[in-house]
Structure 1
Amino acid sequence: MADAFSSLVETFKNVGVSRAYGAPVQIGGEELVPVALVSFGFGGGGDAGSNGTAGAAEGGGGGGFVLPLGVYTSNGPGRVVFRANTLMVLAGLVPVVCAVGMAIRGVLKTVSANRRQP
């Protein structure tokens, strides 16, 4: 299991900004730099036997996702602008809208409950 963990560490050692910003691409005479939200994680574990040695139960796993947020492009001489991927921005806002809605609901319930008490 230690060898597998070492292999995973080596594989993900260079993951970072280079994964969030893609290589520049030429499309229609315009240079675009793709931008994404990249997240990953992995873990593992085992069952130590009664004498401190590794037991029979060992395992691990991992996963990740990539959300294409948009591209950087030039907007005239020397000006760089970000063009958002509207669909992904809206998808990313869903949890925020849900959290705000739940917070407002909780506040309204509290205010309503306090008004009914004498």
Structure 2
Amino acid sequence: MANLTVDLANILTSTGVKASYGDPVELEGTTIIPVASSWFGFGGGQGLEDDESDSAMNGGGGGGASVPLGAYVKQGDSLEFQPNPIVLLCVAVPFVWVAGRAVARIVRALKR
């Protein structure tokens, strides 16, 4: 189990930057570098071995996720970040909902 942990740590440290920043793409004089937020998680465990059973209960698992945030676009000497509009909407919808609820409560409190 210890070797597996060391192997996973070595793999993730070497792919960390590539997981968040993709390979640059050249297209008609424009360089595009995709940007994403990535995270990984791993865990493992071992159950207690009782006298009635000959085997211990072992388990483990892991996973990861990546959210595309946008891309850096370089044209000539200018470099700018182009955000992903879908991610902006995913962030904005809960924010707008919470802000609307807060405004509704303030208006209701002021009416009293």
| Residue deviations 1:47-78 (CA, integer Å, cap 9, x gap) | 2447xxxx711111111111111111125x42
Q: Which residue of 1 aligns with 2:29?
A: 29
Q: 5+ unaligned residues in a row in structure 2: which ranges?
A: none
Q: Show the 5 A alignment for 1:95-106.
A: 95-97=94-96, 100-101=98-99, 104=102
Q: Which runs of 4+ in 1 moved over 3 A?
A: 92-98
- Describe the shift of the 1:13–1:90 C-alpha distance in structure 2 as closer, same or farther (beyond 3 A): same
Whole-Å Cα distance in 1 between the matches of residues 58 and 93 of structure 2? 37
Q: Which residue of 2 aligns with 1:81?
A: 80
Aligned-pair CA distance for 1:41: 0.9
Q: Which residue of 1 aligns with 2:58?
A: 58
Q: What SS class does the counterpart of residue 16 from structure 1 fall into?
A: helix
- Describe the shift of the 1:69–1:108 C-alpha distance in structure 2 as closer, same or farther (beyond 3 A): same
- Describe the shift of the 1:5–1:48 C-alpha distance in structure 2 as closer, same or farther (beyond 3 A): farther
Q: Which residue of 2 aligns with 1:108?
A: 105
- Describe the shift of the 1:33–1:46 C-alpha distance in structure 2 as closer, same or farther (beyond 3 A): same
How many residues matched? 106
Whole-Å Cα distance in 2 between the matches of residues 5 and 94 of structure 1? 39
Relative to the length of structure 1, the TM-score reads 0.67
Q: Percent identity?
A: 36
Aligned-pair CA distance for 1:90: 1.4
Q: Which residue of 1 aligns with 2:16?
A: 16
CA RMSD of aligned residues (A): 3.1
Q: 5+ unaligned residues in a row in structure 1: which ranges?
A: none
Whole-Å Cα distance in 2 between the matches of residues 57 and 102 of structure 1? 50
Whole-Å Cα distance in 2 between the matches of residues 17 and 102 of structure 1? 38
